[in-house]
Each structure stands twice: as C-alpha cells, then as structure tokens.
C-alpha cells in the first residue's frame, strides 16, 4: 500500500460524485485536508469552527447501533491478507505481529487484549484471542513508535511510559459487575495516552460514553467500544493515518472513516473481520 493511496483525499471529482447521493453529510477535519469539505463535495462555510464538525460526526456516531444492519461480507481469505478495503480503510485478517502494515500509520488508537482472561458470563462470544497475558499487547506496542491511545483495565499495568494521567472512560451506572461483596461496581476503563501531538479544546479527562450491559444489548464483540468514544479520541489525535492492530469489530476504523481519515486495521479472528467489513461497507455511515 503506497503512500499516495494512503493519503488520498475526497477533493477529487470521482469521490465528489460518489458521495453526492449520501443522505447524511459527514465532515472531514481541516487537519486532514486543509479546508472543511463535506462528503458531498461542497466546501463548508469558513466561519464555522472545526470543532462543530467533529461534534457533527460525534452525533452521527451515537445513533448507528439503533439501526439494524445488513451487509454482504467479502469472500473468506487466508490469514495475513487484505480482508476489506475502500478509499479510506484497509483491514487485514491476521496476527498483528506478522501482518505489520499497520506500523506505517501515524497514530495508533487501539483496544488490545487486557491480559485478564475476560469473560462477561452474559454472552455467547468465545474468549478473546491472546487475552490470558499482556504479552501480545506488549509486543505490539513495543513495535510502535509515536502517538497512541490504548484502552486498558484498571487491573493491569500499562505498557511502557504513557502520560502519567490516564483518561477515564465512564461507561455509566448500569455496567460492571466485579466483586459483588464490594459496594462499588467497576463502571469505568482507562485510556493511556502516549507520545505528542494531541491537541484540541481542553476538557475533562473523564470521557462519558454510556453503554448498556451485555445482557440488555446486542454486541458484535464481547468488549466492543462505542464509536462515539473513538470519534472523541480521534478528534484530539495528531493528523494522519490511524492504526488499530486489534481491530475487533472495527469501531476505530468506523470512527476514522466517519472523520474522513485513512485507517489500517488488523484482526486475528475472521468472525470479527466479517463484522467490521459489514459495518465499513455501508453506503452511509452513521455509527454510535
């Protein structure tokens, strides 16, 4: 995958024509394309602040899970090959320690195996691959150099030397079982931030993106993250191509595409490659 294709913008006539039929006008951040352009190809008024358009994408991101989706998954492929590709996203099926194309990106936003042997007890999903220890997480992060946002559990130590203050994802009051003898439920997760280039409007380090427990909602992946929190993180991330070597059901890739950013993902489990491909192949993305 060459640099030319990875840095393609939507300013060309082909892309303008392709998105003119979109019923939802998504917006590309100025950091990617020099000016604000909606996906129908029209330049947006210059007096509107870029933050408003990130908020527009964020609002769209909150709605998609209410929709029933149908998709046509790609033909099954051998591990390590391209499973899905469009103008913005390339998804590889394979082990991220072997399929290393994701290392060519500019910023990493990922939800790796926490090393806690996660089992919700409420869903019929199989165990998460490589979640018995943090070895796979640590090897992948050791190969990465640059800005990164990495989801984590309070139960395990972060890899390396992130910023000393993690972000806290507040998942709401109805999730998290934990130790039933303890009067507080673990209704949060951490996001460790690495590297420089993070910017944007200054706000609280507690990111409130509520989710329902697994027994009250349909999850495509046992630890699926809301697209809204990924849009939130990417709104503060350095510019350039986004990488997710533990793509799961594709939430990071969907968020990147919503913001008009190039993205590279790798997922070891073909079932979740199929789910991610289905989400990404929708003609009009509106995700939550």
Instruction: Indicate the angle between helix axes 227-234 and 50-61, nearest 10 degrees.
Output: 160
The pLDDT value given to residue 282? 86
Rounded mean pLDDT of 166-180? 77
H/E stretch holding 141 reads helix 135-143
d(CA 285, CA 60): 8
For the ranges 24-33, 102-111, 209-218, which has the lowest average pLDDT? Answer: 24-33
Question: Higher-confidence residue: 96 or 46?
Answer: 96
Question: Is 74 contained in some domain?
Answer: yes
Q: Can you tell me the mean pLDDT for 165-187? A: 78
Pick the residue with more confidence: 276 or 128? 276
> The CATH number of the domain where 84 resides is what?
3.40.50.150
Whether the per-residue pLDDT at 42 is higher than 70: the answer is: no
Q: Taking residues 251-259, what's their average pLDDT?
A: 97
In the predicted model, what is the mean pLDDT of residues 15-41?
A: 35
What integer is the mean pLDDT of 273-279?
Answer: 94
Total number of domains constituting the chain:
1
* Pairing of β 89-93 and β 263-267: parallel
- Share the mean pLDDT of the chain: 74
pLDDT at 26 over 80: no
Residue range 128-143: average pLDDT? Answer: 80
Res. 133: pLDDT tops 80:
no
What is the predicted pLDDT for the residue at 285? 63
* Least trusted range by pLDDT, from 34-48, 55-69, 113-127, 160-174: 34-48
Of residues 134 and 174, the one with the higher pLDDT is: 134
Confidence bin at 31 (pLDDT 50/70/90): very low
Distance CA 18, CA 28 (A): 15
According to the per-residue pLDDT averaged within each range, which of 53-67, 117-131, 215-229 is highest? 215-229
- Decide if 286 is inside a domain: no
Flag whether 285 is in a domain: no
265 occurs within a structural domain = yes
pLDDT band at 18, cuts 50/70/90?
A: very low
Q: Is 228 within 8 Å of 59 (Cβ atoms)?
A: no
The answer as to whether 77 is a domain residue is yes
Domain of residue 80 covers 3-280
Report the Cα–Cα distance between both ends of the chain, in Å, rounded: 29
Rounded Cα distance between 270 and 25, Å, is 31
- Helix (H) or strand (E) segment spanning residue 168: strand 167-170
pLDDT at site 55: 61
Candidate from 17-26, 149-158, 213-222 with smallest mean pLDDT: 17-26
Res 141: pLDDT: 95
Q: Output the pLDDT for position 219.
A: 64
Residue 213: per-residue pLDDT: 56
Pairwise CA distance, residues 257 & 85, whole Å: 12
Domain assignment present for 287: no
Instruction: Report if residue 288 sits inside a domain.
Output: no
CA distance 232 to 211: 15
Banded model confidence at residue 103, pLDDT cuts 50, 70, 90? very high
pLDDT band at 53 (very low <50, low <70, confident <90, very high): low
Q: Which residue in this structure is represented by tokens 């109805």?
A: 174
CB atoms within 10 A of CB 87: 16
Domain assignment present for 41: yes
> Residue 246 class from Cβ within 10 Å (0-12 exposed, 13-18 middle, 19+ buried)?
buried
């Amino acid at each position: 995958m060459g640099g030319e294709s990875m840095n393609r913008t939507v300013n060309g006539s082909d892309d303008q024509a392709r998105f003119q039929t979109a019923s939802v006008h998504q917006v590309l951040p100025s950091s990617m394309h020099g000016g604000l352009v909606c996906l129908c190809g029209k330049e947006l008024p210059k007096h509107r602040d870029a933050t408003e358009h990130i908020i527009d994408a964020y609002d769209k991101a909150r709605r998609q899970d209410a929709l029933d989706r149908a998709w046509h998954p790609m033909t099954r492929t051998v591990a390590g090959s391209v499973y899905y590709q469009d103008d913005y996203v390339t998804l590889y099926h394979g082990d991220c320690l072997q399929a290393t194309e994701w290392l060519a990106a500019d910023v990493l936003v990922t939800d790796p195996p926490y090393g806690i042997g996660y089992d919700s007890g409420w869903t019929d999903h199989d165990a998460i691959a490589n979640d018995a220890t943090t070895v796979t997480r640590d090897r992948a992060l050791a190969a990465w150099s640059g800005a990164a946002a990495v989801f984590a559990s309070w139960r395990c130590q972060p890899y390396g030397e992130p910023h000393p203050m993690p972000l806290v994802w507040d998942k709401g009051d109805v999730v998290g079982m934990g130790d039933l003898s303890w009067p507080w439920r673990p209704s949060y997760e951490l996001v460790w931030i690495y590297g420089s280039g993070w910017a944007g409007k200054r706000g609280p380090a507690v990111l409130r993106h509520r989710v329902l427990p697994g027994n009250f909602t349909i999850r495509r992946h046992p630890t699926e993250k809301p697209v809204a929190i990924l849009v939130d993180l990417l709104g503060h991330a350095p510019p350039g191509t986004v990488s997710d070597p533990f793509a799961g059901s594709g939430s990071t890739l969907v968020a990147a595409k919503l913001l008009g950013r190039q993205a590279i993902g790798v997922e070891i489990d073909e079932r979740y490659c199929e789910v991610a491909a289905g989400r990404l192949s929708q003609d009009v993305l509106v995700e939550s």
